[in-house]
Amino acid sequence: MSGDIRRVGVVGGGQMGAGIAEVCARAGLDTVVCEADATAAHAARERVTASLDRAVERGRLERTAARDALSRLVFTGSLEDLSDRQLVIEAVIENAGAKAEVFTALDKIVEDPAAVLATNTSSIPVMRLGMATSRADRVVGLHFFNPVPVLPLVEVVTSLHTAPATVTAVEEFAARTLGKTVIHSRDRAGFVVNALLIPYLLSAVRMAESGFATAADIDAGMELGCAHPMGPLKLADLIGLDTLASIAGSLYDEFKEPLYAPPPLLQRMVEARLLGRKTGRGFHGYGQG
């Protein structure tokens, strides 16, 4: 079925949604990106354009290929424009209620009963979103990693209702059409990667919070002592501290294990809007905002 998926929709044009839309367009797909309104849709277009320009500047993409990719993208402020899509990937804020609302709306709008509705959630159970529709067998997790055009991994997450044909379709789509490496996870909060990664990041936050070591030393220790390409607090800043807190909260709600509990320092930083790279300041400063 993956060869038949040529019309893709992406709901949300933020960091993740824009990246997903970019890789779809670069793969030759007719891609529609839906944002909250026309202003947000314009910002999403600028985000994708800037990413394509960076890829050209760094020699990862030919200028003509970037232009072709952009020509395959449509940006809109109306979910109704996704009615003819064969695959819609939700990439809105990491909030169960907000995501469920999107799936309920898509269930009514997307006309093809065989269309797949996928979520890019980092931690929210896919079952919860599938049950917000009348087609839970066509709902699946399709979790990309940031930055989407660069990182090769996609997690395919199945709920108790997800049909085998749905799994096959998205696996082939991710692997063959987009050229990603696919791993599979059952439907538990955090899936594979975040279930392992988030406790590590939270441990680094607690170490900084306790005054045991500075953010710079914690990151240097893991980069130079363990050959990690990026220290845990730099990675937390890249992910976004609000997103990190949301994922940690989802994990803690499901498992009630202390290692998943968001530390007080993380919660205070989110309240202060010190969210990392996107606001110019988190555990490190980034000279903006």
Alpha carbons 70 and 48: distance in angstroms, whole number: 8
CATH 1.20.140.10 fits 194-279, yes or no: no
Q: Which distant-in-sequence residues (6+ apart) come within 8 Å of 98 by Cβ?
A: 92
- Residue-wise pLDDT for 172-215, tens only, equals 999 999 999 999 999 999 999 999 999 999 999 999 999 999 99
- Residue-wise pLDDT for 256-272, tens only, equals 999 999 999 999 999 99
Look at residue 289 and tell me whether its pLDDT is greater than 50.
no
- What phi and psi, each to the nearest 5 degrees, are found at residue 258? -55, -30
Whether 143 sits among the annotated catalytic residues: the reply is yes
22, 35, 94, 122: the active-site residue: 122
% of the chain residues with pLDDT over 70: 98
**Coil vs helix vs strand at 157:** strand
ω into 147 cis (within 30 of 0):
yes
Residue of higher predicted confidence among 42 and 289: 42
Look at residue 119 and tell me whether its pLDDT is greater than 90.
yes
Q: Locate the domains of the chain by residue range.
A: 2-186, 194-279
Mean pLDDT over each residue of the chain, to the nearest integer: 95
Place of tokens 């670069």: 26
* Other Cβ atoms within 10 Å of 90 Cβ, number: 25
For residues 120 and 97, is the Cβ–Cβ distance under 8 A? no
pLDDT at 3: 54
**Coil vs helix vs strand at 77:** coil
| Residue 226: exposure state from Cβ atoms within 10 A (0-12, 13-18, ≥19) | exposed
pLDDT at 123: 86
Whether 122 sits among the annotated catalytic residues: the reply is yes
Look at residue 1 and tell me whether its pLDDT is greater than 60.
no
Please state the pTM of the whole predicted model.
0.90
Alpha-carbon torsion (44, 197, 189, 252), positive or negative: negative
**CATH class assigned to 2-186:** alpha beta
- Residue-wise pLDDT for 45-92, tens only, equals 999 999 999 999 999 999 999 999 999 999 999 999 999 999 999 999
Alpha carbons 182 and 155: distance in angstroms, whole number: 6
22, 90, 94, 155: the active-site residue: 155
123, 194, 246, 250: the active-site residue: 194
Domains 2-186 and 194-279 equal at CATH topology level? no
51, 143, 159, 246: the active-site residue: 143
74 bridge partner residues: 32
Which of 165, 119, 169 has the alpha carbon at shortest distance from 143?
119
Alpha carbons 99 and 277: distance in angstroms, whole number: 24
Token couple for 125: 């159970």
